[in-house]
Amino acid sequence: MNVLFDNRQDEIYIDDVITELIKKSIREVIDEEKLDENIMISVSFVDDEEIRTLNRDFRNVDSSTDVLSFPIDDEFQLDERILGDVVINTKRVIEQAEEFGHSNERELSYLTVHSILHLLGYDHEDEEDKSLMRSKEKIVMDRMKLYR
């Protein structure tokens, strides 16, 4: 598994502990979905302004959000399957962790799991899809022993 990190914010200090947590979160989703670990994903940590711009430019939603997922339709067979890009708003990580009464690490892990599921085609547009996606999130977070 190849995870590329890009840190473009200063709200949360991104160290090896954080990057290993992100990798573990991705690995748990990959294991749950029974996928080959020969994958590549990029994870970017950004501020509120940058994610708002991305949300506006790519989704036509002019507001901030906590995480964005950009799946890549990998029509070319490379050595690794490229799943796509995850963009995490660290300001929202801090706010949501406080709101839900858990750690920034738990929130980072949850947003990573949520986003990887999006890269794999899950969504929450209707109640049935939302229920399935929430169930997958819960399985992975329980396996990681990261509870709300």
Q: How many residues does the chain have?
A: 148
Q: If residue 109 lies in a helix (H) or strand (E), which one and from where to where?
A: helix 104-119
Which residues, including other chains, have CB under 8 Å from residue 36's CB and lie 6 or more apart?
A: 81
Q: Flag whether 124 is marked binding.
A: yes
Cβ neighbourhood burial of 118 (10 Å; 0-12, 13-18, 19+): buried
Which residue, chain included where needed, has tokens 């839900």? 100
SS3 81: strand
CB 120 within 8 A of CB 106: no
Q: Flag whether 102 is marked binding.
A: no
List residues forming the annotated binding site: 114, 118, 124
Binding-site residues for Zn(2+)? 114, 118, 124
